[in-house]
Amino acid sequence: MKNIAIICSGGDVSGMNPALKHFVEYSIEKGLKPFFVYHGYEGLIDNNIKEVTYKDVSGIINRGGTIIGSARSMRFKEAKYRQIAKDNLDALGIDMLVVLGGDGSFRGLDIFYQEHGIKFCGIPATIDNDINGTEYALGVDTALNIIKTSIDAIRDTASSFRRAFVVETMGRDCGYLALVSHLTSGSELCLIPEKKYDLKDYEDRFKQEIKDGRGYFIAIVSEGIKQKSSEIAEWFEKTIGIESRVTVLGHIQRGGNPTIYDRLMAYKFVAKAIDGLLNSIDSSVVCYTKKGFEYKSISEVTSQVKQLDEELLVLI
């Protein structure tokens, strides 16, 4: 019987627990012995690795976050600690890893594979949806739904008090969450790093809309733009002439009950990852594209910055 382990690395996302559940079930179905590595690459180094069965994943499918924890490991960047990790895996007879994380996590495992031959398959898991080569990353749908619910609630008070609300989303240097949330919430303004903007371009239109009876504005901005959200709010007050507030959604976007779509995608990603490893695809990331699921090399995934869909960009 071959042994296989799974790791969560980097930021947690809703969808990781459904992935862990299916990892155990699908591994056993394929005649593998599943293991959990707790707290990311730190767990590899500290030998925090445990064999698991069905009972370990009972009742977790509806929970956000990850029951095995996640972390960013500076030690794993050093060769001596990667050797310790290899020795720990050897002692347990584990030579296959599935990692839920982002491109930084994948780079780390690629180095590990080149040095020690530990086969792996990466599963994109980040609400930022900023991984090149995949249309979708685990956790994105849940994050978008949390943003949707928040904006809908903010709209209630914005319309009641005749205010402008500047809603800041996460995403680092990728504006995907802000862009999709803008298009699906009917907000009046969207500012993202991928598209240059000048607030002067909106002045005449927004002032005219107020004269025509508009009582409130919703502006969605990505955290990666050069201006602070407070500066956008100040512009609404001083230039447009409407009282303004800022809402930074922050880490609520990373948690919460996983949506149906994230649960389903977790199952599909895990099955593809394990199938790939069993079919001698030894160092890859399983990506979801317009053609379906594809296995891509680390270099292909990490060689360039992800580009947002031009069909969506032209709509803002």
135: exposed, middle or buried (C-beta count within 10 Å: 0-12, 13-18, 19+)? middle
Percent above pLDDT 70 for the chain: 100
Phi-psi domain of 5 (left: phi exceeds 0; alpha: psi -120 through 50; beta: other): beta
In a domain, 179, yes or no: yes
According to the model, what pLDDT value does residue 170 have?
A: 97
Residues 23 and 107 in one domain: yes
CATH code for position 187: 3.40.50.460
Residue found by looking up tokens 């903007």 in the block: 197
Residues 46 and 191 in one domain: no
Residue 64 CA to residue 134 CA, distance in Å, equals 22
Q: What's the chain's average pLDDT?
A: 95
Residues 265 and 222 in one domain: no
Number of domains in the chain: 2
Residue 207 CA to residue 241 CA, distance in Å, equals 8
Residues 66 and 170 in one domain: no
How far separated are the first and last CA of the chain, in Å rounded?
Answer: 54
Residues 7 and 104 in one domain: yes
Q: Could you write out the three-class secondary structure of 96-163? A: EEEEEECHHHHHHHHHHHHHHCCEEEEEEECCCCCCCCCCCCECHHHHHHHHHHHHHHHHHHHHHHCC
Residue after which a domain boundary falls, among 254, 269, 288: 254
Residue after which a domain boundary falls, among 238, 254, 270: 254
For residue 7, count other CB atoms closer than 10 A to its CB. Answer: 29
Residue 268 CA to residue 278 CA, distance in Å, equals 15
Residue 68 CA to residue 120 CA, distance in Å, equals 18
- Which domain, by its residues, includes 181? 141-254
In a domain, 311, yes or no: no
45-75 residue pLDDT tens: 999 999 999 999 999 999 999 999 998 899 9
In a domain, 207, yes or no: yes
Residues 219 and 70 in one domain: no
Residue 228 CA to residue 221 CA, distance in Å, equals 9
Q: Which of 103, 128, 130, 141 is catalytic?
A: 128
159-199 residue pLDDT tens: 999 999 999 999 989 999 999 999 999 999 999 999 999 99
CATH code for position 73: 3.40.50.450
- Cα 200 to chain centroid distance, Å, stands at 33
In a domain, 315, yes or no: no
Residues 159 and 133 in one domain: no
Its pTM stands at 0.94
For residue 267, count other CB atoms closer than 10 A to its CB. Answer: 18
Residues 15 and 93 in one domain: yes
Is 128 designated active site? yes
In a domain, 310, yes or no: no
Letter for the amino acid at 182?
H
Residue 85 CA to residue 21 CA, distance in Å, equals 24
Statement: residue 104 has pLDDT above 90: no
Residues 72 and 133 in one domain: yes
In a domain, 309, yes or no: no
